[in-house]
Amino acid sequence: MKTYDAIVIGGGPGGYPCAIRLGQLKQKTLCIEKETPGGICLNWGCIPSKALISAAHHYERAKDSAFMGIKASGVEIDPNALQDWKDGIVKRLTGGVRSLLKMNGAELLAGTATVVSPTEVEVKLADGTVERIQATKGIVLATGSSTIEIPTFKFDGKQVIGAREAVSLREIPKRLLVIGGGVIGLELGMVYQKLGSTLTVVEALPDLLTGIDPECTKVVERRILKRGGAIHKNAKALGYEKQADGSLAVRIDVAGQTQTLVADVVLVAVGMRPSSKGLGLEQVGVTVDARGFIPTDKQGRTNVPTIYAVGDVSGPPLLAHKASKEGEVVAEVIAGHKAEKDWVSIPGAVFTDPEIAVAGLTAEEALAKGLEVTIGKFPFAALGKAMAMAETEGFVKVVADKKTRQVLGVHIVGPEASTMISEGALALEMAAFLEDLASTVHPHPTLGEALMEASAHALGSAIHIANR
Ligand code: NAD
């Protein structure tokens, strides 16, 4: 039987950094992946969607920049060329994962793995043969998550689609209806809205992007409406009928009343479920919770000490960067280091237009913990760089402990929020105070000045807006 120090099941953003780090730490490692390495993130999630988001931004800017003296005519979108460009990026990155694994001494095996004992896995290879392989130090479950389907909206790959198809459309839908006003629904919905689709969002809950500061969400919501989109909240999608002209008549329930909306394509984006089924976990005794997540301790260990879990399958938040960090921690634990998951915050970024990015607590969450808070806020409308970019919607909000002035949370909606949030995450990791952010010299003119000014605002010393 082939024997390794560690076997990693899954080559996504949890599994491949884990295997690379294991290789760096001189552990004999095998990474098993049934599809193209890179997981959802590289193949049809984070990266492809960001390529489309960037293209949609350039397209809109090219068409609508007459206000700054740029007059362009005949600006067109070529969906095939866009897809080919995006596919090229995916190919480069997934190829990069293969090379990085190799460069670090980790082997990659194409196949489907199941766990058959605390130290062994069975792999079904493409030719149907089954191989049993041993891991002397640890097996890492990094199998990710999969799209939730609504029974009355079964994917047909053309008109009723999930995110996977939505990043691969070679025709821009005339009318796009998105079920689920969460991260995927809004990111991809806004892409196609910019590329010409009429967008309708149907969300079951009272708010879009539940869990995010509603003040931030409102800014994005306004943008969707301003571009002619429609948003139905407290609305449940019931089912649909295909009409004679090929369009879909979608029935939704809003407060007990049935309404019908017409669309050409329906994107279902109602969440993901952990991929913990069919891995053989029951036989080996690995605990799986009621939602299908695999609970782990601070070192990423499941209840079976030789089996670890990282990323989506180990619990929320379902974010690539959380998966990668967990993968690195588990690699170090398997290699005998004293590593553990001890971060203060896992920041989040939503690539809507404008972007939303958050780290740490909202004011409401801090109050619920019994803390007294002080809040500083700085609008991009008051920032020279934002004006020069013609991106003045949004703000930076800093939440701090009222007594100690330690930063508890940073919430940004606006241009490059996803880039700026790293400073907020660093502030939380370093247990920074408002004074630290406010007195750090930020280069001018930059968007980053907004975080400095928001912190100063909480202290009553902002320069470019009125203090209280
Ligand atoms: P989500 O949980 O973000 O949003 C799903 C939304 O669908 C929720 O608001 C929910 O209330 C709504 N919903 C559920 N059932 C519904 C129904 N029957 N009718 C109408 N609305 C309904 O899930 P998602 O957008 O599918 O994203 C999946 C995962 O992928 C998330 O966990 C997210 O963290 C991750 N993701 C992250 C990013 C990012 O970080 N930028 C981008 C894409 C995806």
Does residue 290 fall inside a structural domain? yes
For the chain, the domain total comes to 3
pLDDT < 50 regions, the chain: none
Same domain, 395 and 359: yes
Does residue 154 fall inside a structural domain? no
Residue 399 sits in which domain range?
A: 348-459
Q: Tell me, using a 6 A CB cutoff, whether residue 347 lines ligand 1.
A: no
Helix, strand, or coil (residue 310): coil
Same domain, 184 and 217: yes
Same domain, 73 and 202: no
Does residue 339 fall inside a structural domain? no
Does residue 342 fall inside a structural domain? no
**Model pLDDT, residue 31:** 98
Same domain, 217 and 183: yes
Same domain, 226 and 281: no
Does residue 196 fall inside a structural domain? yes
CB 396 within 8 A of CB 450: yes
Q: Where is the domain boundary, 232, 254, 270?
A: 270
**Model pLDDT, residue 246:** 97
pTM of the model: 0.97
Output the residue whose Cα is nearest ligand 1's atom 28: 271
**Model pLDDT, residue 468:** 74
Cα of 62 vs centre of ligand 1, distance in Å, is 30
Output the residue whose Cα is nearest ligand 1's atom 3: 182
Output the residue whose Cα is nearest ligand 1's atom 32: 318
User: Of the candidates 2, 14, 46, which has an alpha carbon nearest to the alpha carbon of residue 309?
Assistant: 14
* Residues 6 or more apart in contact with residue 386 via CB below 8 angstroms: 380, 392, 414, 415, 447, 450
Same domain, 122 and 187: no
Supply the CATH number for residue 129's domain: 3.50.50.60
Q: Tell me, using a 6 A CB cutoff, whether residue 421 lines ligand 1.
A: no
CB 230 within 8 A of CB 201: yes
Structure confidence by residue, pLDDT tens digits, 2-57: 999 999 999 999 999 999 999 999 999 999 999 999 999 999 999 999 999 999 99
User: Of the candidates 120, 38, 31, 29, which has an alpha carbon nearest to the alpha carbon of residue 307?
Assistant: 120
442 is catalytic: no
Cα of 181 vs centre of ligand 1, distance in Å, is 7
**42, burial (CB in 10 Å: exposed 0-12, middle 13-18, buried 19+):** buried
**121, burial (CB in 10 Å: exposed 0-12, middle 13-18, buried 19+):** buried
Same domain, 69 and 177: no
CB 176 within 8 A of CB 159: no
Q: Where is the domain boundary, 270, 293, 314?
A: 270
Q: Where is the domain boundary, 220, 248, 270?
A: 270
Same domain, 11 and 135: yes
Cα of 380 vs centre of ligand 1, distance in Å, is 28
Same domain, 140 and 187: no
Does residue 398 fall inside a structural domain? yes
Same domain, 363 and 405: yes
Does residue 155 fall inside a structural domain? no
3-class DSSP string for 229-262: CEEECCEEEEEEEECCCCCEEEEEEECCEEEEEE
Out of 184, 202, 275, 412, give the residue to mutate to test ligand 1, the one with the largest number of ligand atoms within 8 Å of its CB.
184
Same domain, 9 and 130: yes
Task: Please pick, among 321, 337, 444, 464, the residue that the annotation labels catalytic.
Answer: 444
Same domain, 123 and 184: no
Does residue 388 fall inside a structural domain? yes
